[in-house]
A and B are shown apart, each in its own frame.
Chain A
Amino acid sequence: MDRRTVFSGRLLPHLLLAPQLLLTVFFFYWPAATAVWSSLTAEDAFGQGWIFVGLDNFQDLLTDPLYLQSALRTVVFCVAVSVLAMAVALLLAVFADRVIAGRGLYRTLLIWPYAVAPATSAALFVFVLHPRFGLLGRWLNTHGFDWDYTLNGVQAMGVVIAASAWKQVSYNFIFFLAGLQSIPRAVIEAARMDGAKGWLRFRTITFPLLTPTTVFLLVVNLVYAAFDSFGTIYALTQGGPSKDTETLVIKVFRDGYINHDIGGSSAQSVLLMLAVIAVTAVQFRFMGRRTLS
């Protein structure tokens, strides 16, 4: 997609390109190289000395059942958040597409949560679900239900999934609504005149036509759940109880920042980088131009 007509000039384009290129080198390539180098060494926290250990850090990681559990947990978490956030968003979008009165107001009221920070979403959920302070959490405990996500791993996972998905619904809603509105009315009318009822129409016509949107959103949601959810999870459970909500990105943070295990956390970073590159490569191969996140 190159232009035919361009401007001449040698110095100017370099000047224009320089800021981004410099930042990219300093804040992408250099850290990436540092990560690779650190992952192949063992050094003390203060950086006083290092020794080369080859692939030891990677071997330790890949044979550590805790790391593999964390990876599995991350997959479960990402899928659960994506499915939940997309399903709720699709439901709302279908009805927002249908409704006539108050359409603009509904749209506004369903878009604003996009602005909520993941960590803030966690704070909100604390006040709803905390066993001691939360309105609903306290209610559950006084009505015979043993609710304490600070001690019960399954409940903790449920809470972080809910809080993370809650935040993501708006984004999905915007895309699903746009996708629905771009389906030609003629197609829907034709199906209706053929006698297809609402649910059948949806299943056989509408949903298949939404496939590009759905696939795009799935990738975005999976990546969001894997990385952006850090704030939500960390603010709610810090990865606990007993690692039950420790996703890979929480583990990187914990090992690198709190435990000062430079080699181990760098190895984890490298593996995460490879995973993201793989996912993005797949995304671009199959979807072409979707570039905005």
Chain B
Amino acid sequence: MNNRPDWLAHIILGLGVLLFVLPVWLVFAGSTQDPDAIARGALSPWLDPSGFGVYARVLSRGALGGQPVWHMLAISFAMALAIALGKIAISVTSAYAVVFFRFPFRRAAFWLIFITLMLPIEVRIIPTYAVMADFGLINSFTGLWVPLIASATATLLFRQVFTAIPDALVEAARMDGAGPLRFLRDIALPVSGANIAALFVILFVYGWNQYLWPLLVATDPHLDTIVIGIVKMIGVDSQTDWGAVMATTIIALLPPVIVVVAMQRWFVAGLTEGEK
């Protein structure tokens, strides 16, 4: 085989990397520039080292009329965490129940849950909103995340994993006198460790990036997530503070990107399980 570097591959891949990095770099550079200049159309691709103060300003005070960014970060973080952990928790328990027990209506319960795969939140958005309104859950933190953890994707994954646990293990545990809960804690959960990690990444990103549902359900500005905050900053009827928008965009990118990059291996493994 050739030992010369594969120039074509590097060029193509390099272009691919630039395609993704350049817009982010542009926004990062722009965040340090003068917002009035940007409003006049003078956005430049170069960093202005004197402009980093915008980050401190935006974190502590936010844009005019908006929430301080640290507050929105906290909301986003709490929401993403609640969704990731909440969904993993209820999926593990319901998958476990369906796989390791026999009870009447077991199959029916499973299908009831399974069908929810077919309804992304955007499809049921207005009626879910109406239900939440009747419950009085509009404009509450609970209302932000609870409807988003109810779909069946993770349950199906865990069902697969649990079904694949060898019978011998279960037998051994039973002979040791371990009950179902102990088995869950000592065997089933550790075995699904990689899947849980992958799911965490997917769900955290999913929760962090939610736009339509928080937009609908929370009109109180105190519940603004950072993604909502960015969109609200653009196109307010007086002048848009472009520096704040750009700085907030960069800040908003960081947590989910860090999670994805740090947990890359599990994430890719979890997504493509069965491909290899």
Contact = CB atoms under 8 A, between A and B. Distances in A.
A292 B271 contact: yes
B276 A293 contact: no
Interface string A150-187: 00000000000000001001100011001101100000
Given A21-B94, A120-B227, A9 B101 contact: yes
B211 A116 contact: no
A62 interface: no
Contacts of A262: 126, 130
B128 A135 contact: no
A14 interface: yes
Contact-size category for A: 35 or more
A75 interface: no
A256 B122 CA distance: 12
Interface stretch (B49-57, B60-68, B155-163): B155-163
A32 B119 CA distance: 9
Contacts of A252: 122-123, 125-126
B266 interface: no
B112 A21 contact: yes
Interface in A214-243: 223, 227-228, 230-231, 234-235
Contacts of B128: 27, 31
Given A3-B100, A119-B211, A128-B26, A253 B125 contact: yes
Interface in B109-139: 109, 112-113, 115-120, 122-131
B272 A174 contact: yes
A273 B97 contact: no
A30 B245 CA distance: 38
Contact of A3 (B157, B167, B179): B167
Contacts, number: 310
A52 interface: no
B6 interface: yes
Contacts of B276: 178, 181-182
Contacts of B130: 31, 34, 38, 262
A117 B23 CA distance: 14
Interface stretch (A78-86, A102-110, A200-208): A102-110
A266 interface: yes
Given A23-B90, A127-B43, A231-B212, A115 B260 contact: yes
Contacts of B10: 99, 102
A269 B26 contact: no
Contacts of A291: 117, 153, 156-157, 160
B6 A100 contact: yes
B41 A133 contact: yes
Contact of B97 (A16, A95, A117, A128): A16
B177 interface: no
Contact of A21 (B99, B109, B259, B274): B109
A184 to B, nearest CB: 11
A94 to B, nearest CB: 8
A174 B205 CA distance: 16
Given A7-B100, A7-B179, A124-B249, A20 B113 contact: yes
12 contacts: A7-B179, A17-B109, A23-B147, A106-B13, A114-B260, A178-B272, A234-B211, A235-B211, A262-B130, A280-B117, A292-B270, A292-B271
Interface of B: 5-6, 8-10, 12-13, 16-17, 19-21, 23-24, 26-27, 30, 38-39, 41, 43-45, 89-91, 93-94, 96-103, 106, 109, 112-113, 115-120, 122-131, 146-147, 149-153, 155-157, 160, 163, 167, 170-171, 174, 179-181, 183, 205, 208-212, 216, 227, 230-231, 234, 242, 245-246, 249, 252-253, 256-257, 259-261, 264, 267-268, 270-276
7 smallest CB-CB distances across A and B, nearest first, come from A117-B209, A115-B256, A231-B211, A256-B126, A31-B127, A16-B97, A13-B101
